[in-house]
Amino acid sequence: MRLQDGFYALVLDEIRNQPGLEKELGANNLSAVALTAFGSTLKRFCQNIEMTGTGFPIPIITGPGFMIIRKLTPPATIWLRSLADILSIWSGSNYEALCRSALLHIFWGQLDEAERKINIAKNNHDDRAYAHHVYGLLRGLQEDREGSQFELGLAMSREGFESARQRVHLALHLLELDC
């Protein structure tokens, strides 16, 4: 498993944990994408990452991992979604929508667009955890261990929800692995 593959799994897991976000993947089924990309269910793959370092080896993937993005059905062009994106960027007030949109861009491999959305969210609400969490996932996907560690550390220090703290902790754990 490459670091990039592990972080893509965590991005898929984050999408799965965000209410209603999975519905925005268009014709792509999150479970099927994970099974094809990693050769196991998303839940199982994330559990394997968590167990690594406690006597269990680094998970082995039997699919293309992050390169699955080349086989995904492209996002539907919805003019209403584009209008909402423009308005949220212009006003800068829709922090959650910007972070969720960034996750979707990461899903499709549109990393520059994801980074742009995250930076807008952080610029307007740098004191919140979610944008730092998503940015930490993006940096990990880009195999920037230091940048990922920094952003995930900020997310951990600002996150108030235990379930989200566990997901940030898993991403920090992945950075410690030799992959």
Spans of all domains in the chain: 3-176
Instruction: Decide if pLDDT at 173 tops 80.
Output: yes
Task: Give residues with Cβ within 8 angstroms of 66, minimum separation 6.
Answer: 2, 4, 5, 7, 8, 37, 109, 141
pLDDT tens sequence across 64-91: 999 988 888 877 655 445 555 555 555 5
pLDDT tens sequence across 15-43: 999 999 898 888 889 999 999 999 999 99
Instruction: Decide if pLDDT at 50 tops 80.
Output: yes
Q: Whole-model pTM?
A: 0.89
Q: Which of 6-15, 53-62, 78-87, 130-139 has the lowest mean pLDDT?
A: 78-87
Domain 3-176 has CATH 3.30.530: no
